[in-house]
Chains A and B, each alone.
Chain A
Amino acid sequence: MANPILDKVAIVGYEMTDFGDLYEMGIADMSNMAINGALRKAGVDSNEVDALYVGNAGSGQFLGQEHLGCLIASESGIYTNATSIEASGASGTAAMRIVTHGILSGYMERVVVVGVEKMTSLNKSADTQEALATSLDTIWESSMGATLPGNFALMAKAHMREYGTTREQMAQVAVKNHDHARLNPRAQFSNKLRIESVLNSKVLADPINIFEGCAASDGAAAIVMMAPDVAESYDSEPVFLRQSHQTHDYLSLQQRPNLHELRSVRKGAEMGYKKLNITAKDISFAEVHDVYTIAEILAIEALGLVAPGEGGKATEEGKTSLNGEIPVNTSGGLKARGYPIGASGVAQVIEIMDQFKGNAGERQLKDIEWGLAQSLGGAGGTSVVSFFSR
């Protein structure tokens, strides 16, 4: 029997739409393009698909549309079982992770995962903040006045107090990710961002400014996952998902013992390193969940890519830049590639695929062995950490 802990799953085809304000397309249109694009690249006929899993965080909030699995299957010409998975910002990678269970148990052979979100139809900031705040504890956080940036602001202040992290170090995360996005034709933002612009932009929740967070975005990203023996006939050099760990911390910040670390991420990363018998030093590059700039700093520390408290300094010194020791968010990250919530985890995987397949153009990394993707739900209540290799 397959051992889901030790075995691996191949990722063959992948495709994503542009990210941004896709006014012309509804949630099913975007999904259709990504799904069928990925199937075409994989060389898989839609009749051969054993299941469709949709990662989506808030179509009920943003569009008043639930039952997405069925909607998207119907509108994409996929006539198989289809299910939507919700885990806030980690929806896409949570869906990917669930598929490994089906494939490793031998129950499924070819599965499509699509992450999708349509956010730009809400036209007031207060409505978007209300929708985003449903990823927190609705009664004991959001009803008391919490917003998603508000919660990350509390974490940023805790990190600043504990380690002396500065506003400039946090702002540098946004500057770096915009620099990376300039090399990514699919990115939502391709403008150069100056550190002064970040520091002088409108405050969302002190100390987080608007240029430190993500804009509302639409987009879909899809991957085709296969059992390794099945993948052989589609791709002679597939990329494999080697480990994926979903872990949790308390949903609400007030229940956590401290706010200057992402315990959920640390737990998932440690489980992965142990199972693979590698360490953080073996990771060649990572896509992390920079929903706000502080989130990237917290993530690279929790993943062990830098020491606790060193995330801000490492960013400032360029260690996480494209040419640095450990490139982080070569795609531009959530900040600049764009953050259609449910799509972003799958888009992280697509960046990892592009890097391994040599399709990353001007942002192509050399001599890579291990790629890591980390996504968060809410303010860190859910974490999915996934490891990829050739």
Chain B
Amino acid sequence: MIIMTRKLVAENWRLEKARYALVGNFCKKCLGYHFPKKQLCLRCKTSEHLEEYKFKHEGKLLEWTKIYDPAKGFDFAGPYYYCIVELEEGIKITTQLKYVTDEGRLKYGMKVKLVFRRLFSHGNEGLNTYGFKAVPVY
């Protein structure tokens, strides 16, 4: 009964570049970065000065939590870490944090890199959707 955007094939294909390669855009006029990509710069209100920009796959870890009660589609692999990462360009994203061998070593502001992983699945009939996740750099 519940139809979510993230199950829809067309929606997922539309997001492919952003999810797979972290492509957003950069406004040459206001020097602002956008992720996800905007059709018009939110400040300049025009597309005239926008160019595609591929974000660096590095940043720092801000807040994180461990989710024990996941939503459907995320219940295939037990509890997982979920976090906010600030990319080198200053843009923040939310994602999962993988390969946490020792939570005690996680620190606010520590370096993380982004890797390509499966984000979620919807059983045998649904899509597997892939995208970026963060990994701590100790």
- Chain A contacts to B: CB under 8 angstroms: 61, 63-64, 124-127, 129-134, 138-147, 149-150, 153-154, 157-158, 161, 202-207, 210, 252-255, 259
Contact = CB atoms under 8 A, between A and B. Distances in A.
A140 B63 contact: no
B93 A254 contact: yes
Contacts of B67: 145, 147, 149-150, 153, 204-205
A145 B93 contact: no
A157 B69 CA distance: 18
Contact of A143 (B1, B6, B84): B6
B68 A254 contact: no
A363 B39 CA distance: 54
A259 to B, nearest CB: 6
- Nearest 3 A-B pairs (CB), nearest first? A153-B65, A129-B71, A254-B92
Interface stretch (B25-33, B49-57, B72-80): B72-80
30 contacts: A124-B72, A125-B69, A126-B72, A129-B70, A130-B2, A130-B4, A130-B71, A133-B71, A138-B6, A139-B5, A139-B6, A142-B4, A144-B82, A144-B94, A144-B95, A144-B96, A145-B82, A145-B96, A146-B94, A150-B67, A153-B65, A153-B67, A154-B84, A203-B69, A204-B67, A205-B67, A206-B68, A210-B69, A253-B94, A254-B93
A127 B2 contact: yes
B119 interface: yes
Interface residues of B, number: 35
Given A139-B11, A145-B74, A252 B69 contact: no
Given A138-B6, A154-B63, A254-B94, A126 B70 contact: yes
A150 B2 contact: no
Nearest to A152: B65
Interface string B98-116: 0000000000100000000
A254 B66 CA distance: 17
Contacts of A161: 63, 108
Given A154-B64, A158-B63, A205-B67, A143 B2 contact: no
Contact of A140 (B94, B96, B129): B94
Nearest to A256: B92
Given A130-B71, A205-B82, A140 B65 contact: no
Nearest to A203: B68
B136 interface: no
Contacts of A254: 84, 92-94
What does DSSP make chain A's interface, helix, strand, loop or mixed? helix
Contact of A138 (B4, B70, B96): B4
Contacts of A147: 67, 69-71
A140 B2 contact: no
Contacts of B129: 143
A145 B119 contact: yes
Contacts of B36: 139-140
A126 B71 contact: yes
B43 to A, nearest CB: 14
Interface string B115-128: 00001100000000
Nearest to A158: B63
A124 to B, nearest CB: 7
A82 to B, nearest CB: 24
B93 A126 contact: no
A158 B108 CA distance: 10
A207 B67 CA distance: 10
B120 A143 contact: yes
Contacts of A210: 69
Given A140-B93, A157-B63, 4 more contacts: A133-B71, A161-B108, A253-B94, A255-B92
B15 interface: yes
A240 B4 CA distance: 40
